[in-house]
Amino acid sequence: MESYLIAILTVAGIYMIMALALNLQFGLTGLINFGVVGFYGLGAYTSGIATEIFHAPFIAGLICAIAVGAVAGAVVSLLSLRLSGDFLAIVTLGFAETIRLVFNNEDWLTGGPRGFLIATRQVFDGLGRSGAALMVLVIVAVAALAIFLLMQRLAKTPYGRVLRSIREDDLVPSTLGKNIFVYRLQAFVIGSAIMAGAGSLYAHYVQTITPDNFTTPVAILVWMSVIVGGAGNMVGTVVGSLAVVALYEGSRFLAPWLTFLDAEQVSALRFIVIGSALILIIRFRPEGLLPEKHQRPAEAAPPNLSSKGSSL
């Protein structure tokens, strides 16, 4: 059971990193990125190709993944950021599907539909099965913590305030002389690079990646994490990703109590339970489990009654 929890927490940690990156793009800046899996998959394959074909160590693979993710993010956003939110959503969705088709068809590079085997791991050999699994979890947890602190910091700085104001109404910051385009580009590129980094962590963890690993359902899980947790709130995203993975995995353990149903019905019921729980959360907590704190303007100083200054 411990090793199962370790495995699930590792997966949850990877989703958490992606959800934090999406929260920067969507939660703070209001950029709709439906192509989460595109950047995720790009990072996974880049890292795998770097370590397996070019025999680079894991760290180099991770750095390559982040770099390629950033470049891809820049290209996608330069193509569509000037356009409004809906267009970006469609372009990113198309990007993810295109990337998947490239993985599926460029057999010489990616192994095509049969998948890409990755021998390099994040950890040293000789730790044993459970030791290695625990080490991977520690690495993923440290990465998730680092990204969380970075995002938390970004959100609280004046930079984060500009991003939020762009989300609310981009006319306001632009009248204050902020270059909206550059801010959007930066938020999108940082988010995409982090998603690609998560892909690298995932690829070296599962060690076999196929194009089927990077289909839209994964992006939906990440989106649910952000929405359930509370868009714009980084702590909320952490809670949201843990809640979504707990719901997905926890519902598996219902089966022993449902012996009167056959296997098909149990598996269908699982999806009904997951769907209903999400609907209930959105119905009763429309802003997520931990809504973003409303930023109020600082209280104006009390009007100075005496024209001669303080009467101390």
Partner 1 sequence: MKLSRRLFLAGSTAAIATPAFLRHGLAQSSPIKIGSLIPLSGGGAPYGPEKNKAHKAVVELVNAAGGVLGRKIELITDNTETNPEAAVRAARKMIDADQVSAIIGTWASSVTLGIMPLCQEANVVQLFTGSSDFLPDGDKKRLCFNLQPLNAAWCVALAGLAAKRGFLKVGFAGPKNDFAASMGASFGKSLKEVGGEIVGEPLYYNPTQVSYRAEAEKLIASKAPALFLAGYVTDFTALYRELIRGGYTGKIFALSFAVGPDFKKAVGAAGNGILHGSPVPPVGKDTYDAYLRLVGLQPNGQILAPYGCAAYDEINLLLLGMASAKSTDARAVADHIMKVANGPGDRVTTFAEGAKLIAAGKPINYDGASSSADFLPNGMLKSRDFALYEIQDGNDVPLLTISSNAE
Q: Which chain residues interact with partner 1 by CB under 8 A? A: 1-4, 6-8, 11, 101, 104-105, 107, 112-115, 117, 129, 206-208, 210, 212-213, 215, 217-218, 248-249, 252-253, 255, 262-264, 266-268, 270-271
Map 274-312 to HEC letters. Answer: HHHHHHHHHHHCCCCCCCCCCCCCCCCCCCCCCCCCCCC
**Which of 49, 266 has the CB closer to partner 1?**
266
Smallest gap, in angstroms, from Cβ of residue 221 to partner 1?
10
- CB within 8 Å of 102: residues ≥ 6 apart: 110
Smallest gap, in angstroms, from Cβ of residue 177 to partner 1?
46
**Which of 103, 188 has the CB closer to partner 1?**
103
The position carrying tokens 């000789």 is 126
The C-alpha atoms of residue 28 and residue 44 are separated, in whole angstroms, by: 26
Smallest gap, in angstroms, from Cβ of residue 90 to partner 1?
17
Nearest to 39 by CA among 116, 114, 92, 79: 92
Smallest gap, in angstroms, from Cβ of residue 61 to partner 1?
18
Smallest gap, in angstroms, from Cβ of residue 213 to partner 1?
5
**Which of 26, 205 has the CB closer to partner 1?**
205
**Which of 34, 248 has the CB closer to partner 1?**
248
Q: Which helix (H) or strand (E) holds 209?
A: strand 208-209
Smallest gap, in angstroms, from Cβ of residue 53 to partner 1?
18
Q: Which helix (H) or strand (E) holds 162?
A: helix 158-168
**Which of 184, 270 has the CB closer to partner 1?**
270
Decide if 25 contacts 191 (C-beta within 8 A).
yes
Residue 41: strand, helix, or coil: helix
Give, to the nearest 10 degrees, the angle between helix 128-156 and helix 180-206: 170
Smallest gap, in angstroms, from Cβ of residue 129 to partner 1?
6
**Which of 100, 184 has the CB closer to partner 1?**
100
Smallest gap, in angstroms, from Cβ of residue 83 to partner 1?
25
**Which of 132, 185 has the CB closer to partner 1?**
132
**Which of 1, 312 has the CB closer to partner 1?**
1
